[in-house]
Amino acid sequence: MAKVRLEISKGDEIRFLSHLDYARTIERAVRRSKLPVAYSEGFNPHMKVAYASALSVGVASRVEYMDMDLSQPLEPQVIKARLEEQLPEGIILSRLKYIADRTPALMAAVNLSIFRLTVPVADGADNVAIQAAIAAFNSAERTIYVRESPKGRREIDIKQFMDCETAAVLRGEELEIRLCIRMTPTGSVKPGEVLAVLVDTYGLPVKKESAFIDRQELLIADSERRITPMEVI
Amino acid sequence: MIQLDPAILNRVSKPSRYTGHEWNSIKKDHETVAVTFALAFPDVYEVGMSHLGLKILYHILNRRPDTAAERVFAPWVDMEAEMRAADIPLHTLESFRPVKEFDVVGFTLQYELSYTNIINMLDLAGIPLLSAERTEEHPFIIVGGPCSYNGEPIADFIDFFSLGESEEAIEEIAGCVAEWKKAGKPGGRQGLLGKMAQFEGIYVPAFYDVSYHQDGTMEKIVPNRPEAKAKIVKRIVKDLEAVDYPTKPVMPYLDVVHDRAVIELFRGCTRGCRFCQAGMLYRPVRERKPETLLKQAQQIIDNTGYSEISLTSLSSADYSCLHELVTKLIEQFKDQGVSVSLPSLRIDSFSIQLAQEVQQVRKSGLTFAPEAGSQRLRDVINKGVTEKNFEDAVSSAFQAGWSAVKLYFMIGLPTETDEDIKGIADLAYKVLDLYREVKGKRGAKVTIGVSSFVPKSHTAFQWFGQNTVAEIERKQQYLRSLIRDRNISYNYHDARTSFLEGVFARGDRRLSQVILAAWRNGAKYDGWSEHFRYDVWMQAFADVGLEPAFYANRERSNDELLPWDHLESAVHKEYLLQEYDRAVAQAATIDCRRDVCGTCGVCPDLGVAVIDWEARA
């Protein structure tokens, strides 16, 4: 058994896939590639692949990670070539490497996600108002987002999940926002939720419904360093 | 090219219905092809993407270098509202071009209650709804599929119908449109329709004038153009081995209704159930060879990455080489992590044995369709199943470890009495008893699903007056009163939906005005219970001045001219009449595939024969 880690994308073409649809798409590509991927034992065998972190519908990503168990090792370039032939538009396999069996699972290891939000500004809005809203958000101690789901209504202090300062740059009619979001064992916040708070609580003058949200980086961070999952030994 | 605003896609449910880019989808440069087809399915993406016919046409057309075929589905109501608000025309999923710019828009007619969706899609596309109002600027609106055999209710909207199997016909259509365009569109729209009308199986409704008697029945239907034939006979593929099968289907990203590899074992079914329209329309039985199917299965798996293969046909348990095929499929795919799923089962122990081989693990539930509760009524409908067959099948299923059984029935069948309805409840109780006998304890679960019988054109029951809504509802409640065991659950269909289906299944072309009126008042997605608006429909009938009961509930006389008499499945009308008489007399008609010919007329008329690989071996 050999474990291989892949860095892939979720491009614009497939931005509106759910995580489940995205995972199924990759599994089908792996099956078409005829790579010797391992399956779980049991009556209903499933492919041994694991992902780092689920993306919402509408969110694209430059870097997603997945681990895949192979029943026999192959040269990395062979894996890459065979899989690339079968990947649909929007999924680019940028690199892969073998990792040790004991390497912690991606889901448990990654804890920092950096997003870029590109969103049209509201008519007549100026940069002063924009920067004021961002500054107010950055300096707040706490700020509450109310998450409504079929399971009920929950109030979340989203500031506890914000890592670095949020920055926004105005480019013509579009605002580019950079969010660093921590993923913790007790939860996290979605970039769309942060945007909602920026607009609804801090008056950021943008058309939030038209935002393009892209994950730029997915990292393993501790007090000393930030590395990508590909740098894990 | 239409670009959808992300704000819209963020607001609608399941946005990947609308974003395309699926694996195996085919994008061609429209500048390099002679003809463009928009293959339209009048229901939501997940339903349309599950339809085999669409995959076949997509494949056959795109195989041609001179043709581009693209897909378009009915947008769900939330997306439709967004499209209307933002003036986004209906467009295809490949090129994102407006449907209006295509040469041909082909709809598939699977179900009578999808008619308003066709109108709605034409409207969203900005194409005039009535064929008479279209000009050379507009695409040809064509339809195929089972409902085209009586497409009269939508005659006003459709340029031409294609009757029967279209593998060969669609190529003739594509070739003809290409030539007509190349020649500078001689004769305009009428010029092309005139050419089309000469092909076998093509029906141009505008080329016929219909007159009616005082009592509302049809007097005559007469061609008004020399090209129009008096009778239009269905097209059929004589040998399925000779036609291509789509082994590179478009892979939906969404979890669609049937999301697995599908191999088609055969077409046609000659069991002769008298209520069944498909059994008449697709005659005779023509099987594919097991080795062809195994090869196709491997190609589909290689091209898709699916992990499940399912077998399809009208009655897969009747495939002559089923056991051999299933055994070989399991063998061939067991190391590829691909499972095989069986279709609906026949009521016998052979089927149970096979199900056991395939379904090694999950004994989830078995489904049987006795269709009627009493032996008498099963004889009327020619469902060749005896009480003994049924008991044996259910007992074997329990012995093999199943404990949940689903049973499908119809109510409202010809000659039905309350005694027959009671038979449904009796059969359900019988299943519980059989479980106790086999297992020595209680624990079986029985689900009975009861639909209301809708008489269809081209069947032995095409003359029968459908039960009224009130009568169906009374029978539903009567059956409910007979079921008092909590291990039996009972589901039934909305009687009003079946009533409307019954109107259109045997309607004439005056109903086009009713469909238009209902659509204008908001009817769409009528097959979806949450969108079905009975009041809107009844108002539409009243506004147009037509009586729905005239179409649904009236028993026709033998000599009445029926609105579909000029549209032929090649099964003779005399044969159907004879079958109706035999039904009332409870006389059995045997399956012709391995026994004597029942003289329905299809084989000699179409120059075809039954293809049954076991019989030939």
Domain residue ranges of chain A, discontinuous segments joined by +: 2-109, 112-229
Chain B CA closest to residue A213: B6
Q: How many Å apart are CA B158 and CA B144, to the nearest integer?
A: 11
Q: How many Å apart are CA A116 and CA B376, to the nearest integer?
A: 71
CB contact under 8 A, A13 and B254: no
User: Chain-wide mean pLDDT for chain A?
Assistant: 94
- Could you say which residues from 186 to 215 on chain A have a Cβ atom under 8 Å away from some Cβ of chain B? 207, 209-212
Residues from chain B contacting residue A58 (CB–CB below 8 Å):
6, 9-10, 15
The answer as to whether B245 is a domain residue is: no
Q: How many Å apart are CA B304 and CA B259, to the nearest integer?
A: 11
The answer as to whether B319 is a domain residue is: no
- DSSP character at residue B611: B
* CATH number (domain holding residue B378): 3.30.750.200
Query: The pTM is what?
Result: 0.95
Which strand (E) or helix (H) includes residue B442?
none
Q: Which domain holds residue B502?
A: 364-510+546-569
CB contact under 8 A, B305 and A27: yes
Bridge partners of B445?
Answer: B404
Q: How many Å apart are CA B597 and CA B240, to the nearest integer?
A: 21
Residue B396 has a pLDDT of: 87
B180 contacts B190 by C-beta, under 8 angstroms = no
- Which residue matches tokens 């147009």? B544
Please give the average pLDDT of every successive group of 10 residues along chain B, which has 617 residues. Answer: 92 96 97 98 97 97 98 98 98 98 97 97 98 96 96 98 96 97 96 97 98 97 96 96 96 94 94 95 96 97 95 90 91 87 71 72 74 96 90 88 91 98 96 93 93 98 98 98 95 96 98 98 94 97 98 97 97 97 95 87 93 71
The answer as to whether B591 is a domain residue is: no
Residues in Cβ contact with B529 at an 8 Å cutoff, skipping those fewer than 6 apart? B494, B497
Chain B CA closest to residue A46: B337
Q: Report how far apart, in Å, the C-alpha atoms of B381 and of each of B267, B413, B503 are.
A: 21, 8, 21
Of A14, A44, A58, which has the smallest distance from its Cβ to B6's Cβ? A58
Q: How many helices (H) does chain A have, and how many strands (E)?
A: 5, 11
Residue B616 has a pLDDT of: 52
Q: Where are the beta strands (DSSP E) in B193-307?
A: 202-203, 208-212, 218-223, 232-233, 261-264, 266-267, 286-287
Task: Give the HSE-up count for residue A94: Cα atoms under 13 Å, Cβ half-sphere.
Answer: 12
Q: How many Å apart are CA B453 and CA B424, to the nearest integer?
A: 15
Q: Which of B211, B201, B69 is nearest to B148 (CA)?
A: B201
Residues in Cβ contact with B265 at an 8 Å cutoff, skipping those fewer than 6 apart? B287, B288, B293, B311, B312, B313, B316, B319, B322, B325
Which strand (E) or helix (H) includes residue A107?
helix A106-109
Per-residue tokens: B253:
């990203």
Residue A45 has a pLDDT of: 79
**B10/A contact by beta carbon, under 8 A:** yes
Q: How many Å apart are CA B424 and CA B370, to the nearest integer?
A: 9
Residue B359 has a pLDDT of: 66
* Domain match, B14 and B163 both: yes
CB contact under 8 A, B304 and A28: yes
Q: How many Å apart are CA A21 and CA B19, to the nearest integer?
A: 13
CB contact under 8 A, B21 and A90: yes
Residues from chain A contacting residue B23 (CB–CB below 8 Å):
25, 28-29, 88
Which strand (E) or helix (H) includes residue A64?
strand A59-70
Q: Which of A22, A24, A214 to mutate to test the interface with B (most CBs of B within 10 A)?
A: A24
Q: Is pLDDT above 70 for A183? A: yes
Query: At what angle are helices B322-333 and B290-304 packed, to 10 degrees?
Result: 30
CB contact under 8 A, B255 and A21: yes
- Could you say which residues from 69 to 108 on chain A have a Cβ atom under 8 Å away from some Cβ of chain B? 86, 88-90
Of B6, B307, B361, which has the smallest distance from its Cβ to A43's Cβ? B361
- Which residue matches tokens 């030939």? B616
- Could you say which residues from 568 to 587 on chain B have a Cβ atom under 8 Å away from some Cβ of chain A? none
Total structural domains within chain B = 2
**A49/B contact by beta carbon, under 8 A:** no
The answer as to whether B42 is a domain residue is: yes
Instruction: Mark which of B201, B233, B265 sits at the end of a domain.
Output: B233
The answer as to whether B289 is a domain residue is: no
Q: How many CB atoms lie within 10 A of CB B613?
A: 16
Residues from chain A contacting residue B21 (CB–CB below 8 Å):
13-14, 88-90
∠ CA B41-B46-B49, rounded to 5°:
55
**Which amino acid, one-letter code, is at B404?**
A
Of A32, A43, A89, which has the smallest distance from its Cβ to B305's Cβ? A32
CB contact under 8 A, B305 and A20: no
Alpha-carbon distance B70 to nearest alpha carbon in chain A (angstroms): 18
The answer as to whether B106 is a domain residue is: yes
Q: How many Å apart are CA B456 and CA A37, to the nearest integer?
A: 51
Q: How many Å apart are CA B503 and CA B511, to the nearest integer?
A: 9
The answer as to whether B515 is a domain residue is: no
Q: Is pLDDT above 50 for A216? A: yes
**Which amino acid, one-letter code, is at B104?**
V
pLDDT digit string, tens, across residues A111-153: 999 999 999 999 989 999 999 999 999 999 999 999 998 889 9
**B23/A contact by beta carbon, under 8 A:** yes
- Could you say which residues from 80 to 109 on chain B have a Cβ atom under 8 Å away from some Cβ of chain A? none
| H helix runs in B305-417, sequence order | 322-333, 349-358, 375-380, 387-399
Bridge partners of A66?
Answer: A6, A51
* Domain match, B372 and B227 both: no
Task: Give the HSE-up count for residue B588: Cα atoms under 13 Å, Cβ half-sphere.
Answer: 12
**What burial class does residue B583 get, using C-beta atoms within 10 Å of its C-beta: 0-12 exposed, 13-18 middle, 19+ buried?**
buried
Query: At what angle are helices B534-544 and B495-505 packed, to 10 degrees?
Result: 40
Q: Which of A16, A46, A86 to mutate to test the interface with B (most CBs of B within 10 A)?
A: A16
Instruction: Mark which of B189, B206, B233 sits at the end of a domain.
Output: B233
Q: How many Å apart are CA B122 and CA B358, to the nearest integer?
A: 44
**Exposure string over B403-415, b if 16+ CB within 10 A, otherwise e:** bbbbbbbbbbbbe
Residue B617 has a pLDDT of: 47
Alpha-carbon distance A180 to nearest alpha carbon in chain B (angstroms): 22
Chain A CA closest to residue B300: A32
Record: fold of A112-229:
Alpha-Beta Plaits (3.30.70)
* CATH number (domain holding residue B110): 3.40.50.280
CB contact under 8 A, A16 and B304: no
Query: At what angle are helices B387-399 and B418-439 packed, to 10 degrees?
Result: 30
Residue A1 has a pLDDT of: 81
CB contact under 8 A, A25 and B11: no
**Are domains A2-109 and A112-229 of this chain identical in fold?**
yes
- DSSP character at residue B94: S
Alpha-carbon distance B19 to nearest alpha carbon in chain A (angstroms): 7
Record: fold of A2-109:
Alpha-Beta Plaits (3.30.70)
Residues from chain B contacting residue A47 (CB–CB below 8 Å):
337
3-state secondary structure of A47: strand
- Could you say which residues from 284 to 313 on chain B have a Cβ atom under 8 Å away from some Cβ of chain A? 301-307
